[in-house]
Copies of this chain bind each other. A is one copy, B any other.
Amino acid sequence: LLNEFTLIEEFFTKKLPSPTDVLLGIGDDGAVLKVPADQALVIAVDTLVAGVHFPVDTAAADIGFKALAVNLSDLAAMGAYPRWITLALTLPAMDTAWLQAFAQGLFTLADQYQIQLVGGDTTRGPLTITIQAHGFVPAQQTLRRSGAKIGDKIYVSGTLGDAGLGLQIALHNINLPSTEEQFLLQRLNRPLPRVELGLLLRQFATSAIDISDGLLADLTHITEQSHVGATLTAEQLPLSSALSRSLSHHEALQLALTAGDDYELCFTIPAAREQEFLLASNQHPCTCIGFISEEPGITLVDFPHSLLATGYRHF
């Protein structure tokens, strides 16, 4: 068996001054942590399995970065500020070079937010990474999936569908010019969680979710939990120029609607506060893609007929 203590100490113990909210970190039976009295604790846990959530030949540093990013994206969708993580790492064998690269990728992102690794477990088995992220939010400002109201504007951050096309590149299913390939692989392997936008949305959004399973699937969680519907217009979907240049308009829209792994935020803003939100969010590219409507389900306007998946109404 791997020696978890040696592993964790060697690769994952950062010699930083302990912040005051970590009373006890790695090295005992558990970590002891202090949550500020005026904050709620927000937790999110996600597992990445090799060959399922990333191609088996993905670089270790990218796996480390992404395993954290997907969890920070969940915290961002709750409006939470990230603070601590635990890492449960299952590895087929001890591989020093792999571990160094994995840790380097993980801490590249963790250090941006001064996130502390406070505990974990390392086991032998098929490559699987489970990270739990812990953050804070004032309870009353939590972003939920359930608060969207009829008439709210629907927004997404960034651009959609890039990671879906990036996956086709990573799987060697297509070749593109190297500028496009680089951008799209970066979008797949190094998604940037929208932490700062999530914090801003505490003041504006009536609902929020992160797009991990594709826009239609994730927006459906908002409409179902809010007991409303949504209307989207094709021409409003934000597409990167790399995506637009590489695919037909039809294919690009399909990826934007259904491909997962973009880790952008989808959220709703009351129409009356839209201008104020746009002024406040000018450093975070966001695009209005439609509005919350009464009829249940998602209504797609002006989408190519051939594209429309079963189960979504269209006009």
A→B interface (CB under 8 Å): 1, 5, 23-24, 27-35, 37, 40-53, 74-75, 77-78, 80, 86, 88, 90, 118-121, 123-126, 128, 130, 132-135, 137, 139, 142, 144-146, 208-210, 221, 225
Contact = CB atoms under 8 A, between A and B. Distances in A.
A29 B86 contact: no
A41 B45 contact: no
Contact of A41 (B28, B41, B44): B41
Number of copies: 2
- Chain A interface mostly helix, strand, loop or mixed? strand
A29 B135 CA distance: 12
A225 B9 CA distance: 14
A132 B74 CA distance: 17
A42 B22 CA distance: 10
A84 to B, nearest CB: 8
21 contacts: A1-B52, A23-B40, A24-B144, A27-B145, A27-B225, A29-B208, A30-B43, A30-B44, A30-B78, A30-B80, A31-B43, A32-B41, A32-B42, A32-B137, A33-B40, A45-B88, A46-B121, A47-B88, A52-B124, A90-B128, A130-B130
Nearest to A208: B29
B43 A78 contact: no
A36 to B, nearest CB: 9
Q: Sorted from nearest, which 9 A-B pairs have the closest CB atoms?
A: A49-B125, A30-B44, A29-B77, A29-B74, A126-B126, A88-B130, A37-B37, A35-B35, A130-B130
